[in-house]
């Protein structure tokens, strides 16, 4: 890409598979504009549901091994709509209380979704990041409380760390304590798992998650749109009760058609996913060999830990001068003292591009005496 008039390696994008500029994706979007126009000018329940919207929902649910799916304008809207619509609905009862157990490092959309739930209707309980023992203790202490509904909410992949939720243990805990397991897999769809089916496939629990949310705005073409995939009954309930769905315009047909094409590409050929994994492993290995400290894992999100915000900010600026676009993250986005650069690897890269970026890291790191 070009930044300020010069070429740069893009390490700040969620375009994990390079589909944002894939010829088939662009052609699909153009074809859809010609056939359906720019937008539908309506919400879904009036005149905003086209055949392609239902086709995309069916494609998502089939790909994820779920019964059905519902589209939203974004995953942020999906997560907000999910919790608020269920917890705030009395379902014929004036006296009830629900509970949500949420990972401490969950995405802001999950946090905001739980905050939209009426305080008198829900208990929000935060468990230590990816700590199944802490969660287990909280679940055990609540055995006799008599909650109406209970949810365990987690990211599949945590966006600031690039680490993966312990879904195998969470599935067991949810079943043992009769709780609904909700997983936001936005940074995993098309990214991890042998065929890009996300964290559940990666950890061997594909089809065993109660509720999956995700985005079409990262690996799947990088445009917009989110979804929730779950049982048919739950999706039918959300179509009636979820306010972000009911009162928001439908996704533009061009996005829906292009997203369907993205799923077709993944189903036909896993080479993009394989290339992404190869590139990720190569970059993770080489950046550590240079002497940088990273958070361990196997996801294309590679946090390069620098500690202080000023260091992260300066290194980001100097790397851009050397032809690498990467952004720094610091408090309050991440905890104090844990400032970092977040590299995001793409299947669109080849070894030459990765080596170019690594060379810049080495040059800047030595100049700043980080190495």
Catalytic residues: 159, 187, 218
The residues near 309 (Cβ < 8 Å, ≥ 6 apart) are: 328, 330, 331, 339
Quick check: 11 and 283 in contact, CB under 8 A?
Answer: no
Please compute, for residue 229, the number of CA atoms within 13 A of its CA located in the half-sphere on the CB side.
28
Quick check: 246 and 227 in contact, CB under 8 A?
Answer: no
Cross-strand pairs, 147:
none
Taking only Cα atoms into account, the Rg of the chain, rounded to an integer number of angstroms, comes to 21
Quick check: 199 and 171 in contact, CB under 8 A?
Answer: no
Cross-strand pairs, 103:
127
The residue whose two tokens read 């492993």 is 281
Inter-axis angle of helices 167-176 and 132-141, nearest 10: 10
Please compute, for residue 89, the number of CA atoms within 13 A of its CA located in the half-sphere on the CB side.
14
Among 363, 192, 345, which Cα is nearest to 292's?
363
Quick check: 84 and 158 in contact, CB under 8 A?
Answer: no
Quick check: 284 and 275 in contact, CB under 8 A?
Answer: no
Strands 211-215 and 226-230: antiparallel
Inter-axis angle of helices 271-289 and 253-268, nearest 10: 80
Please compute, for residue 31, the number of CA atoms within 13 A of its CA located in the half-sphere on the CB side.
13
Rounded to whole angstroms, the Cα distance separating 320 from 355 reads: 15
Q: How far is CA 54 from CA 49, 57, 216, in A?
A: 8, 5, 15
């Amino acid at each position: 890409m070009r930044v300020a008039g010069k070429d740069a390696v893009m390490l700040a994008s969620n375009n994990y598979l390079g589909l944002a500029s894939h010829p088939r994706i662009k052609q699909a979007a153009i074809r859809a504009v010609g056939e359906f126009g720019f937008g539908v000018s309506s919400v879904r329940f009036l005149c905003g549901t086209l055949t392609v919207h239902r086709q995309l929902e069916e494609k998502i649910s089939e790909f994820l091994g779920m019964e059905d799916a519902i589209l939203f304008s974004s995953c942020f809207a999906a997560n907000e709509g999910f919790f608020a619509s269920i917890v705030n609905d009395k379902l014929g009862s004036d006296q009830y209380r629900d509970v949500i157990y949420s990972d401490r490092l969950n995405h802001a959309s999950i946090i905001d979704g739980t905050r939209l739930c009426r305080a008198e209707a829900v208990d929000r309980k935060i468990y230590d990041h990816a700590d199944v023992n802490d969660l287990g203790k909280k679940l055990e202490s609540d055995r006799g409380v008599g909650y109406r509904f209970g949810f365990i909410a987690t990211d599949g992949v945590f966006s600031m760390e690039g680490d993966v939720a312990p879904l195998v243990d969470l599935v067991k805990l949810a079943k043992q304590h009769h709780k609904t397991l909700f997983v936001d897999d936005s940074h995993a769809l098309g990214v991890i798992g042998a065929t890009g089916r996300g964290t559940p496939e990666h950890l061997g629990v594909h089809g065993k998650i109660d509720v999956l949310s995700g985005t079409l705005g990262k690996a799947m073409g990088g445009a917009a749109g989110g979804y929730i995939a779950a049982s048919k009954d739950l999706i039918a309930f959300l179509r009636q009760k979820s306010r972000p769905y009911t009162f928001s315009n439908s996704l533009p047909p061009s996005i829906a058609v292009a997203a369907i094409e993205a799923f077709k590409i993944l189903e036909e050929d896993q080479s993009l996913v394989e290339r992404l994994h190869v590139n990720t492993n190569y970059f993770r290995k080489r950046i550590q060999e240079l002497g940088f400290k990273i958070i361990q894992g196997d996801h294309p999100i590679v946090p390069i830990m620098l500690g202080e915000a000023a260091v992260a900010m300066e290194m980001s600026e100097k790397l851009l001068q050397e032809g690498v676009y990467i952004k720094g993250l610091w408090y309050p986005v991440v905890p104090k003292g844990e400032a970092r650069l977040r590299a995001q690897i793409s299947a669109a890269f080849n070894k030459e591009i990765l080596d170019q970026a690594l060379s810049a890291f080495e040059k800047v790191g030595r100049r700043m005496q980080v190495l």
